[in-house]
Chains A and B, each alone.
Chain A
């Protein structure tokens, strides 16, 4: 049957150009393509369509390769391309921008054999994506000293801290951020396998500073409080829960928390206090 309506033609083209292998070997498809595209003296109808198929995979695999450099380096180019193809099949690109293409990559890898059991690889996917998200997240100015000073003491326990929109909090089983740096410095196209570091629980914050993307691994206790605040828990309750869950003494917590907050404000993480 010859599709003439635009939606039919477009559905047909999309189903063809998203196939992972060349269209020329697919007989049934060659037949139906003849009803859609004309071909010319140099190219058959299916060869014309195949140019777009090839570009589709080059473009999308290329975009993922840019966003997940260290992942590609860790498993090698061939395995990465196969992984990309299964990811794109499972989560076809829907956003208008390629920027969003990898938004479910970490989740996909974390539940896809054989990679789901590779904790370093899963961590790396999360770290790489955190940098993508932090890059163009909304802007926010750090909280002013006046605002802090003007907040009455009894308002603090119920206050919710607004944190910088670029902040991404990651609990990792490996220092994946170090591996990312190794993969992204020097020759990015190098085929040399990356060295796998030993496992080490890591609490990482990726964020955007005034000029560049930054990351810092902070101590577990601070990370726990920060996570609660990041989730919007009021300050008083977040502190109480942290003390209880960590089994800390009130005194030990009080001794530490001041230094945490001073670092967090210094890094521009706290942008507002919602009383």
Chain B
């Protein structure tokens, strides 16, 4: 039995990230949206508005926490304080899964608050797998890791990125959060074949897909989560859904955040595209309908 089936990972449809400029609209008007993703660390606090908002959000929508600071590939020990606080977030919203990034964020003496790429080789796979297992032992909620975008490649790497992502997921028995925009950014920055990447990903492990915009710089592409999803990324998304079927999809928009309607329309575009593809796949489950609330 595959990961998704074993953990009864639901298809939540197409959602968006819950971001500050939309708090009032979302919590006040409760507009239709299939689901929301929240940045776990924003709610790993003692009290006040953040926790109130999280509770209110999860009363009306399905909510999945997505972390940025676990540093699963770091060399410093996993922070017990971090894991304790994450536990509280998971208890508060009882999500169907939670996620972080397949990356590292700093050393024992400095947290760079960055999704730094890992050298991709067998030794690092072993290191990361051992740490993922400790996280899995700690939490009963299924755990998924996201492929990150990157701007540098290591001499110490001996694997392709998709090999690394797949091997870590298989050996640790964890889920994959498949960020289609990040794959495109990697293609532009490192020349990795994005279609080969999509084709290599094990279908039964992908619990969620990310879509986002990026920014073209002079000599590289920066993963800014700003602006609309680019056409090339929509193409990759189409290919991804054709291959993976009905996987929960999330539009991330973190910089130059637009009005709610613009963001909701971007999710609507993904939903229409997804429904269109799924409708042509009679064997898959019925496409998710317009969200709760």
Contact = CB atoms under 8 A, between A and B. Distances in A.
Interface of A: 2-7, 9-11, 13-14, 17-18, 35-38, 40, 42-43, 45, 47-49, 51-52, 55-56, 59-60, 92-99, 134-139, 165-166, 208
B111 A96 contact: yes
Nearest to B50: A136
Interface of B: 41, 44-51, 69, 71, 73-75, 79, 81-82, 104-107, 109-114, 116, 118-119, 123-124, 127, 151-157, 189-191, 219-220, 222
Contacts of B153: 37-38, 40, 48
Contact of A166 (B48, B50, B190): B48
Contact of B107 (A10, A49, A55, A136): A10
Given A51-B220, A93-B106, 13 more contacts: A6-B73, A6-B124, A10-B75, A36-B154, A36-B155, A40-B189, A42-B219, A43-B151, A43-B219, A48-B153, A60-B113, A99-B41, A136-B51
Given A11-B107, A92-B110, A93-B113, A136 B47 contact: yes
Nearest to B217: A51
A10 B48 contact: no
A96 B79 CA distance: 9
B48 A6 contact: no
A49 B116 CA distance: 10
A251 to B, nearest CB: 40
A204 B81 CA distance: 32
Contacts of A3: 156
Majority-rule SS of B interface residues: loop
Contact of B49 (A6, A51, A135): A135
Contacts of A49: 152
A38 B190 CA distance: 10
B27 to A, nearest CB: 13
B47 A14 contact: no
A19 B153 CA distance: 20
A18 B69 contact: no
A137 to B, nearest CB: 6
Most buried by A among B49, B105, B151, B191: B151
Contacts of A95: 111
Contacts of A98: 113
Contact of B155 (A38, A51, A134, A137): A38
Contact of A56 (B112, B123, B190): B112
Contacts of B73: 6
Contacts of B151: 43, 48, 51-52
Most buried by A among B111, B116, B219: B111
Contacts of A38: 152-155, 157
